[in-house]
Structures are given as structure tokens and as C-alpha cells.
Amino acid sequence: MSINLGLPLVAPRVTPVLDPAFRPAVLANRAFRQHVAANPNRVPARLALEQIDGTVSRFDTEVLPESAGQADANFTYLERIAKFMLWSRGGYRIHFDGPAPLVARLAQYYKETATGRFDSNLVGERMFDHPIEVVHTKHVPEEKRSTTSLGRHLEGNRIGFDLGGSDRKVAAVINGEVVFSEETVWDPYFQPDPQYHFEGIMDSLRKAAAHLPHVDAIGGSAAGVYVNNRVKVASLFRGVPPEAFNTRVKDLFFEVKKAWNNVPFEVVNDGEVTALAGSMSLGKNRILGISLGTSTAGGYVNADGNITSWLNELAFVPVDYNPKAPTDEWSGDYGCGVQYFSQQCVGRLLAPAGIEADTKLPLPEKLKMVQKLMDKGDYRARKIYETIGTYFGYAVAHFADFYDLENLLILGRVTSGPGGDIIIDGAKEVLNFEFPELTGKIAFHIPSEKDKRHGQAVAAASLPQIVAV
């Protein structure tokens, strides 16, 4: 049995065909909890993650007593849980009721390690205006949720847009019906001048507006974190220097809104719009939407059909606890979702699958190559999708420990074509074999071709509410 800083790792019973070293987070967590439950001296450990507005997310668990032989596992277990909470929920203050040495070590982690400082900077400072702080207390605040009834407004002449890492999409919508849509290739990630992004967005909006009698509202989705239309953190702008980000990018969408006569305007995370689109199309709630594209976008619609204040940045949540797992190029952390559910995953599995490709070939082109091979029935390409499917099954069980989950909406370029069905079949196999209690409880959905083309744009266009004068 392999070990990660004291935490025993469990080999999956369904092995990813191209990644036998994969050690699912869900299996390690559950095995650790079982081990702790058998110890009569186990110690309560309660985490509460607080946002600026007082929203609180709780996670209650137990750990081994400090005197136990495997007590070193406590920190690894809790740090990975905290990492999941930070990126799925969001917040800056961690209230922690547990052993004092663990509190001190967790606080030290966010101040003195590269990956901890990354989380503290991006989640704490840039999203919530405070570095992460760890507070030792017996009075852990109760769960307090904040939801928003956003979207589902279809009346009038609207524009919906979606900004991805390799393309931007736009649609003109009249009373819920798409009358024009277009997809434009662009390369925003490493562009240092925000004018590139502004001009690209404006170009798409103008093309859509040409198909409307007038524009009543504009709604958009984009990779990143947005609060009241203000850009907090977004990979789309990662090439922009900090000074230019602060002076131009933060309020870029206010600039766009002004250029369109200040019509009602809303932009939110693309994952949230994905989940909203699924809820609108399927007529179901408790939906976790996951888009396997340039990165990994996530969004959640709760039981009431509302979007939460959670981040749902599943690109950064840990899904593989093997310390030698692939690392995320941005955060430097290991085993994060983006390396398992995106074009980056497809790119890194090429070599293990025995597929040769020019290392300089962009990831979208590598994906196209795999998709063409898949269309020809190439067994090597099939292995890539089978591996992702196995990853996904274990990740779904992991997500179910943190989300009230009944429906999974899966989309994105990686799921296009027959490969998408292989991914879902692989995930279902894992649930049937390892987690039978989840089989039948969680339904998988792939959007129809119509929804793939227009669902996201319609949902984005529906975000703003038109207030009658």
C-alpha cells in the first residue's frame, strides 16, 4: 500500500487502463475515516469556511489522537479536505475545532509552502480580499448558505456569450429562440494586452446584435470567478500583468456594458451557466455541471433551482492523492481535476496510449487528432477515453461527499463524439463496482446536439432581468 505523508492510499478496484498509479481521493478519505472510527480515542475535527458576506460552509469529521501511530495522516487528510473546500466553496477564514498542532500546521501551510501560498493568494486575497487565516476555536459557526435566483429570463431581444480558453461563442436570442449563433477561435490565455480581450468580446457582440431589432439585455459566461460583474480571478487573463489587470481587467465588463448603453448585463462563471442550462433543459435540479474543455469548469444548481455563492472551481480540487500524480501548471499542486478532466488530460495520455504527436501541437489540435482516431475505431484513442471514464467515476463518488447530488451534466469538447459515451460508461462501471449505493441515485446527462449548440448561450442570455420602466 502506498502512503502520502502518513495517509495510506488505496488502489482502485477498477484501474485506469493508462494510469495504474492513480489513487482516488475518495478511497483514501473513506479508508481513513473507517480507521479513525475504529479508534475509541478519536478526536472531533470541524472545519467551517467563511466568506466576506458571512456565508459559511461546514465539514465535520474526526481524526486520530496525537498519540496514535498513524497520526501523521491527520494533516494530509485535513489539508486535502480544506483544499477541496477552498476551491469548491470559496472563502478566506477557516474556523477549525481540532487538535492545536493541526491548527498550527495548517496555518503554516498557507504561509510557507508554494501551493498553500497560491491558494491563499488566489482564493483568499484575489477572490475575497483577505489572505487565508486559520482560527482555532471551539465555537465553529453553523452552515449558512447564500443562493441567487439568477437567469431563466427569456423575454425580449438578448445576446448570450460564452468565453472559453480556445474559442468564444455568441448567440442572438429573441424570446428564448436562437436566431443567430457563431463560434470564433481565439487565444486569450497568454495575451498581455487587455485590449485583445475587449475587442474580441465586442466583435462577437456586434455580430449578434446585427440579427436583433435592438438589444434589451446581455448575459455572459466565462472561465473564472466574477462577483457583481467584476473580474476577481480568471485564467482567460492570466497573461495580463498585475498592474494592467487591476487597472483594466477588473472592470472590463463594466466597460463592455457602457459600450452597449448600460443595458441589463450579467456575467458569471461558465460552470454556473452550464448547470443552469442543464436545469432549464432537463427540468431538474440538484445538478452538478462539469465541462471538460480547455480546463475543467464546474457549476451547481441546488434543490430550489438556484445558483449558490460557491466557487465550484473543480479544475483545482484534488481527485488523486498519489503525491507523484500530474501537477497543475498554474498552482503547482498535484492530482487536481484539470489534469484528469480536460484537454490537458488528453494531451498527457497520448504517450501512455502509444500515440505520437508533435510536442508543440496545441492541445485543441491534439484532441482533434484523438477524436479522428476514435472515429476510425483506433484502440489507442479508446484507451484514453476509458481512462478518463474511470477517473470520472471515482471523482463523481468524491463529489457526492460534498454536494447534494442527483444529476450530472457532462459536456465540453473532450466529450464530443463517441468518446463522451465511453467516458460515461466508464464512470457508471466504477459506480456499479465500487459505489453501488450511488448507482441509481445519480443520473448522467449529455446535452442534445441542439443544447450543445445553443443551450449555454440561451442560459447566458437569460441571466439579466429586464426591469420594466
Dump pLDDT digits (tens) for 430-467. Answer: 999 999 999 989 999 988 766 765 677 788 999 999 87
**The CATH number, out of the four listed (1.10.10.200, 3.30.470.10, 3.40.50.1980, 3.30.420.40), of the domain defined by the range 273-455:** 3.30.420.40
Say what the pLDDT of residue 453 is. 59
Say what the pLDDT of residue 262 is. 96
Say what the pLDDT of residue 189 is. 85
Dump pLDDT digits (tens) for 178-208. Answer: 999 999 999 998 899 999 999 999 999 999 9
Nearest Cα to 273, choosing from 261, 259, 256, 287?
287
Say what the pLDDT of residue 446 is. 86
Domain segments of the chain: what residues?
39-145, 168-268, 273-455
Say what the pLDDT of residue 450 is. 66
- CATH topology match: 168-268 vs 273-455: yes
* Exposure on the CB side of residue 48, measured as CA atoms within 13 A: 18
Q: Where are the alpha helices (DSSP H) in 89-193?
A: 100-112, 114-119, 128
Sign of CA dihedral 273, 190, 120, 23: positive
Say what the pLDDT of residue 452 is. 65
Say what the pLDDT of residue 454 is. 66
Say what the pLDDT of residue 2 is. 87
Say what the pLDDT of residue 69 is. 79
Counting as low any pLDDT under 50, the low residues of the chain are none
Say what the pLDDT of residue 167 is. 86
Instruction: Considering the domain delimited by 168-268, tell me its CATH architecture.
Output: 2-Layer Sandwich (3.30)
- Parallel, antiparallel or unpaired: strands 307-308 and 407-411: unpaired
Beta partners for residue 135, in sequence order: 95
